[in-house]
C-alpha cells in the first residue's frame, strides 16, 4: 500500500445503502490465508449492521433537518400572517425566506387576474436586486412559459430545475451564472392562482422532496395571508366610501333642514299673527283651519329640528353651552308641558323629586329637550294610568327616570330602540307618529354630557327610561 506495507490476503464486501454501493468493508491479513465461508458471513453481517447504522444516521439527520425547516417556516408564517399590507407582507416574505433558508435569491410573482389580461407584479429579495435597487417598489413584468415561473403559472404545479442542461436553469444562469438549482411553487387559494414563489440556490441539487414539501406549506400560508391582506384592504376602502357617503348624507340633511326651516318659520309666524286677529276678525271655520296649519307647521318644524340636530351631532358640529342648572325647576316646567300632552287621556303625571336635588352643570336647552322627549314619548304610548318622573342623587351623579304604564316595548326591539329612524311600530297603520329620531337624539345629548341612558320594558305593563348625569362635567370637556 502507500505506506509500503505488504498484505497477502484481503477479503472485501460492498457496503450497500438503498440499493446503491457507497463503499466497501474489508479484512486484511499480512499472511497468506484462505478465507472461509464463516469469514465471509461475518463480514457480510458486519456490513449489514454498518449499512443499517448509516441509514439510521441519515434518517435522524433528515428528520432534524426537516424539523429545523418546519421551525423556520413556522416563524416566517407567524411574521407574515400578522401583516395586513400586501406590499409589506410580500417584501418581508421574500427576504425572510432568502435569509432564513440561506437561498441565493427569492422572487414572488403576484398575479392580478382582475386587470385586463393577466398583470404580474414582481417582488425580489434584497440579495436578488442588482444595481443597489433594494427597497425599490415592485415592478410589473410579463411572463411566458419559457421561464420557470411562467411554466409553473401555466401548469399550476411545482417545478424544479436542478440539472444544468435544462432550458429553465440555463435561462437563469444568463443573469446569475452561479445558480445550480431553482424551484417554483404555484400559490393557490381555493384553486385560484394568486402568484408564484421562485427560489434560486447556488448549491447543486439543493431541493429534496422534504424541503419542497416544507416550502409548499409555507407558500400556502403566504397565499392565504395575501388574500387576507386583500380582504382587509377592500374592507378599508368600503369603510372609507361609507364614511364619505355618510358625510355627504349629513351635509345634505343639514342643508335640506335649513332650507325647509326658513319658509316654514314664515308659515308658522303668519298663521299665528292671523290667529291673533291682528289682520282682522276670523270665522270659526277659518280659526279651525289656521289652527291646523299652525299645529302642523310646529310639528313639521320639530321633525326638521330633530333631523338638523342629528346631522350636527354626526358631523361633530353641535356646540353645547354649559351652565349651572336647577333640575327641580326644570322638571316642574316640563311636567306642566307633559300635562298638556295628556289632557284628553285619563293619565296622571306624578313627580317624585326631592327639593334638595343638587344643581348640575349642563346645556339647559339640550337637557330640557331630553326630558321633553322622554315625557312626550311616554304620553304618546300611554292611553291610561300614569307617567312618573323620579330623581335621586349620590355624591357625583343624578339619576332621573321616566316610567309609564303604556303598551311597553317588545324585548326584540329594545336593543335597537336608540338607533336613528327606529320605531317600535314601523308599519303604515301605526297609531303614533314620529320619525324615530327622538330617542336617538336623546341618547346622543346624554352622551355629550358624559352620561348614560338605559331602558327597561314589559309588554302591556309599561316602560322605564333612566338617565344618569354627572353633577360636574369632567375637566377639558
Q: Which residues have C-beta within 8 Å of that of residue 150, sequence separation ≥ 6?
A: 143, 144
In this prediction, residue 427 carries a pLDDT of 46
Q: Which residues have C-beta within 8 Å of that of residue 19, sequence separation ≥ 6?
A: none
pLDDT in tens, the chain (477 residues): 545 556 667 777 787 777 777 777 777 777 777 777 888 888 888 888 887 777 777 777 766 667 666 676 777 777 777 677 888 888 888 888 888 888 999 999 988 766 555 678 888 887 544 433 444 556 777 777 788 988 898 889 999 998 776 788 888 888 888 999 999 999 998 888 889 999 999 988 889 888 888 889 888 888 888 888 888 888 888 888 888 887 787 777 777 777 877 788 888 888 888 888 888 888 889 888 888 888 888 878 877 888 778 777 877 778 889 999 999 999 999 998 888 888 889 999 999 999 999 999 999 999 999 999 999 999 999 999 999 999 999 999 999 999 999 999 998 888 889 888 776 554 433 455 556 688 989 999 999 999 999 999 999 999 999 999 999 988 765
Please state whether the predicted TM-score (pTM) of the whole model is above 0.75. no
Asked whether 199 and 214 are in contact (CB, 8 A), the reply is no
Q: Sheet containing 397-404: give its strands across.
A: 347-352, 385-393, 397-404, 462-470, 452-458
Place of cell 505488504: 6
> Which stretch of DSSP H or E encloses residue 336?
helix 327-341
| CB-count exposure of residue 178 (10 Å: 0-12, 13-18, 19+) | exposed
Q: Which residues have C-beta within 8 Å of that of residue 227, sequence separation ≥ 6?
A: 189, 194
Helix axes 86-100, 209-275, angle to 10 degrees: 160
**Residue ranges of domains in the chain, CATH in brackets:** 9-68 (no CATH), 87-207 (3.30.450.40), 238-315 (1.10.287.130), 322-470 (3.30.565.10)
Strands 192-201 and 347-352: unpaired
Largest CA-CA distance found in the chain, in angstroms, rounded: 152
Asked whether 22 and 50 are in contact (CB, 8 A), the reply is no
> Distance between CA 431 and CA 425 in Å, rounded?
9
Task: Write the DSSP assignment of 269-312 as a string of letters.
Answer: HHHHHHHTTTT----HHHHHHHHHHHHHHHHHHHHHHHHHHHHH
In this prediction, residue 15 carries a pLDDT of 78
> Which stretch of DSSP H or E encloses residue 105?
strand 105-112
> Distance between CA 173 and CA 167 in Å, rounded?
10
469: three-class secondary structure by DSSP:
strand
> What is the 3-state composition of the chain as percent helix, strand, coil, each rounded to the nearest 5?
45, 20, 30
Sort residue 135 into left (φ over 0), alpha (ψ -120 to 50) or beta: left
Place of cell 314601523: 426
In this prediction, residue 131 carries a pLDDT of 36
369 is written with which cell numbers? 329637550
Asked whether 77 and 97 are in contact (CB, 8 A), the reply is no
In this prediction, residue 398 carries a pLDDT of 96
Q: Residue 458, Cβ neighbours under 10 Å: how many? A: 12
Task: Write the DSSP assignment of 43-96 as a string of letters.
Answer: HHHHHHHHHHHHHHHHHHHHHHHHHHHHHHHHHHHHHHHT---HHHHHHHHHHH
In this prediction, residue 429 carries a pLDDT of 38
List 347's β-bridge partners, or say none: 385
In this prediction, residue 128 carries a pLDDT of 47
188 is written with which cell numbers? 393557490
Q: Residue 13, Cβ neighbours under 10 Å: how many? A: 18
Amino acid at each position: 500500500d502507500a505506506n509500503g506495507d505488504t498484505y497477502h490476503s484481503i477479503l472485501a464486501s460492498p457496503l450497500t445503502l438503498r440499493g446503491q454501493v457507497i463503499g466497501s468493508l474489508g479484512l486484511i491479513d499480512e499472511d497468506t490465508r484462505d478465507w472461509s465461508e464463516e469469514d465471509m458471513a461475518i463480514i457480510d453481517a458486519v456490513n449489514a449492521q454498518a449499512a443499517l447504522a448509516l441509514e439510521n444516521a441519515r434518517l435522524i439527520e433528515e428528520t432534524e433537518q426537516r424539523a429545523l425547516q418546519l421551525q423556520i417556516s413556522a416563524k416566517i408564517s407567524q411574521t407574515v400572517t400578522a401583516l395586513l399590507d400586501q406590499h409589506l407582507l410580500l417584501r418581508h416574505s421574500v427576504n425572510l425566506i432568502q435569509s432564513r433558508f440561506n437561498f441565493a435569491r427569492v422572487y414572488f410573482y403576484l398575479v392580478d387576474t382582475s386587470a385586463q389580461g393577466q398583470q404580474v407584479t414582481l417582488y425580489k429579495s434584497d440579495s436578488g436586486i442588482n444595481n443597489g435597487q433594494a427597497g425599490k417598489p415592485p415592478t410589473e413584468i410579463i411572463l411566458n412559459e419559457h421561464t420557470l415561473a411562467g411554466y409553473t403559472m401555466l401548469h399550476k404545479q411545482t417545478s424544479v430545475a436542478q440539472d444544468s442542461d435544462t432550458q429553465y436553469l440555463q435561462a437563469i444562469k444568463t443573469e446569475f451564472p452561479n445558480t445550480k438549482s431553482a424551484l417554483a411553487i404555484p400559490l393557490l387559494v381555493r384553486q385560484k392562482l394568486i402568484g408564484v414563489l421562485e427560489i434560486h440556490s447556488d448549491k447543486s441539487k439543493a431541493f429534496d422532496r422534504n424541503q419542497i414539501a416544507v416550502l409548499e406549506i409555507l407558500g400556502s400560508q403566504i397565499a392565504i395571508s395575501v388574500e387576507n391582506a386583500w380582504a382587509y384592504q377592500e374592507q378599508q376602502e368600503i369603510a372609507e366610501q361609507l364614511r364619505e357617503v355618510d358625510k355627504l348624507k349629513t351635509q345634505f340633511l343639514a342643508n335640506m333642514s335649513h332650507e325647509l326651516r326658513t319658509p316654514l318659520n314664515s308659515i308658522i309666524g303668519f298663521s299665528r299673527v292671523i290667529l291673533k286677529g291682528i289682520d282682522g276678525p276670523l270665522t270659526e271655520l277659518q280659526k279651525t283651519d289656521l289652527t291646523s296649519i299652525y299645529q302642523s307647521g310646529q310639528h313639521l318644524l320639530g321633525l326638521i329640528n330633530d333631523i338638523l340636530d342629528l346631522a350636527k351631532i354626526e358631523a361633530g358640529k353641535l356646540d353645547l353651552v354649559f351652565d349651572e342648572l336647577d333640575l327641580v325647576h326644570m322638571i316642574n316646567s316640563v311636567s306642566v308641558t307633559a300635562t298638556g300632552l295628556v289632557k284628553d287621556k285619563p293619565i296622571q303625571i306624578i313627580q317624585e323629586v326631592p327639593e334638595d336635588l343638587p344643581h348640575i352643570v349642563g346645556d339647559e336647552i339640550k337637557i330640557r329637550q331630553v326630558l321633553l322627549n322622554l315625557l312626550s314619548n311616554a304620553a304618546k304610548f300611554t292611553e291610561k294610568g300614569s307617567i312618573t318622573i323620579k330623581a335621586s342623587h349620590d355624591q357625583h351623579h343624578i339619576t332621573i327616570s321616566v316610567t309609564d304604564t303604556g303598551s311597553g316595548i317588545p324585548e326584540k326591539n329594545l336593543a335597537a330602540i336608540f338607533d336613528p329612524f327606529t320605531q317600535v311600530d314601523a308599519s303604515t297603520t301605526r297609531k303614533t307618529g314620529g320619525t324615530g329620531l327622538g330617542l336617538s337624539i336623546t341618547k346622543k345629548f346624554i352622551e355629550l354630557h358624559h352620561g348614560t341612558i338605559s331602558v327597561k320594558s314589559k309588554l302591556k305593563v309599561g316602560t322605564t327610561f333612566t338617565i344618569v348625569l354627572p353633577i360636574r362635567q369632567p375637566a377639558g370637556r
